[in-house]
């Protein structure tokens, strides 16, 4: 089928092309799309060069599906135009996630909500995706009441400019190079930790934190789950990490928790204190799974678990999740 990748020159778009190729998604014609600045440039897919086309040319070519990773405002403007041409849009931005008429999907959790009528499907925020993949099997068994999450997020979640800032700062500090680099953040990120992701809201939380609160309930289909989040940027590239404290309505057995997670789709348990095995972003990098470890009881209150969740934010947090949605649509004949 014809597939458009919108934002094909960006960090997520590049990863999207890689994941589509690796998973052998059935593509007869690829339409890479980016801003007017990039039209005519080449991108590579499966060893072949493809020319970047404009939005209007992509719509005119009538692909079956368009996977968008080009920012919220681009998506708000263009996704409806693709949809009204009969093209199914899978959107990585935050533009449609909380729109009650749009589905917000993590295939391991709620792919079954999708129908052929869904023409704009939202891909959740990266930090939410990896958390719900690990929470879902536990929620089914023990019923989650409350989640307290603190994140340790990779600079790749901000895009190319942030990677350039981190590497520029590092080259300056370590190699003494005095090359120009862009500032994606207000502050240095190398040798630093920034406790702000996205803009501040009226309630004192950041938009990223409130995304984790709202998206978790929507994906898991349960508004009774209370989530409170602190989202933090750290000078790391391989993936996002999360310290998650979960209170359940019902008590659990730690070995049973490990068993449930080990057999859950998309989850790999890495949890052995004796050999110091736990998930780390350098190991999750370039993998599609969600890694869970440091499983232990919170000894300060009943029915409460502490866990550590790591995943590659550009893969499961963005590209892989979007491609899995497309694969599900194909497998159910919904495209």
Ligand X SMILES: NC(=O)c1ccc[n+]([C@@H]2O[C@H](COP(=O)([O-])OP(=O)(O)OC[C@H]3O[C@@H](n4cnc5c(N)ncnc54)[C@H](OP(=O)(O)O)[C@@H]3O)[C@@H](O)[C@H]2O)c1
| Residues in contact with ligand X by the rule CB under 6 A | 7-13, 34-35, 37-38, 69-72, 74, 92-93, 126, 156-157, 159-160, 313-314, 317-318
Q: What is the DSSP letter of 176?
A: -
Instruction: Give the HSE-up count for residue 2: Cα atoms under 13 Å, Cβ half-sphere.
Output: 13
Per DSSP, the chain holds a count of helices (H) and strands (E) of 10, 14
**Given 126, 139, 217, 285, which residue is catalytic?**
126
Rg of the chain over Cα atoms, rounded to whole angstroms, equals: 20
Q: Minimum distance between the CB of residue 87 and ligand X, rounded to whole angstroms?
A: 15
**Residue 258: phi, psi to the nearest 5?**
-60, -40
In the complex, which residue's CB is closest to ligand X?
Answer: 10
Tell me the CA distances in angstroms from 242 to 49, 152, 226, 328, one per residue in order.
38, 6, 17, 27
In the complex, least distance from residue 139 CB atom to ligand X, rounded to whole angstroms: 23
Catalytic residue at 240?
yes
Looking at the Cβ atoms of 86 and 182, the one nearer to ligand X is 182
74 and 42 in contact (C-beta within 8 Å)? no
Query: Does the annotation count 126 as an active-site position?
Result: yes
User: Minimal distance in Å, beta carbon 70 to ligand X?
Assistant: 3
State which residue, 27 or 34, has the beta carbon closest to ligand X. 34
43 vs 246, beta carbon nearer ligand X: 43
By CB neighbour count within 10 A (0-12 exposed, 13-18 middle, 19+ buried), where does 134 fall?
buried
Q: How far is the CB of 224 from ligand X (least distance, A)?
A: 27
Tokens of 134: 């690990």
Nearer to ligand X, 106 or 318 (CB): 318
Catalytic residues: 126, 240
């Amino acid at each position: 089928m014809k597939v458009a990748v919108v934002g094909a020159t960006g960090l997520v778009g590049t990863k999207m092309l890689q994941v589509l190729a690796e998973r052998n998604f059935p593509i007869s014609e690829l339409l890479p799309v980016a801003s007017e600045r990039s039209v005519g440039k080449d991108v590579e897919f499966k060893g072949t060069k493809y020319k970047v086309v404009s939005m209007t040319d992509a719509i005119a070519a009538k692909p079956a599906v368009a996977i968008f990773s080009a920012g919220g405002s681009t998506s708000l403007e263009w996704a409806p135009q693709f949809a009204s041409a009969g093209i199914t849009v899978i959107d990585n931005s935050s533009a449609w996630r909380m729109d009650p008429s749009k589905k917000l999907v993590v295939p391991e959790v709620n792919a079954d909500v999708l129908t052929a009528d869904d023409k704009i499907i939202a891909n959740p925020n990266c930090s939410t995706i990896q958390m719900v993949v690990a929470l879902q099997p536990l929620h089914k068994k023990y019923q989650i009441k409350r989640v307290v999450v603190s994140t340790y997020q990779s600079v790749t979640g901000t895009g190319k400019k942030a990677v350039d800032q981190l590497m520029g700062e590092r080259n300056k500090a370590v190699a003494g190079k005095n090359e120009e680099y862009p500032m994606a953040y207000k502050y240095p990120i190398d040798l630093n930790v920034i406790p702000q992701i996205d803009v501040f809201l009226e309630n004192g939380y950041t938009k990223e934190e409130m995304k984790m609160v709202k998206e978790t309930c929507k994906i898991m289909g349960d508004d009774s789950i209370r989530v409170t989040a602190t989202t933090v940027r750290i000078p790391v590239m391989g993936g996002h990490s999360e310290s998650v404290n979960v209170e359940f309505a019902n008590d659990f057995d730690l070995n049973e928790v490990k068993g449930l997670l080990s057999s859950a789709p998309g989850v790999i348990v890495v949890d052995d204190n004796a050999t110091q095995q736990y998930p780390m972003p350098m190991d999750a990098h370039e993998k599609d799974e969600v890694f869970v470890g440091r499983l232990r009881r919170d000894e300060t209150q009943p029915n409460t678990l502490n866990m550590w969740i790591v995943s590659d934010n550009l893969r499961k947090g963005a590209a892989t999740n979007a491609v899995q949605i497309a694969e599900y649509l194909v497998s159910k004949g919904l495209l």
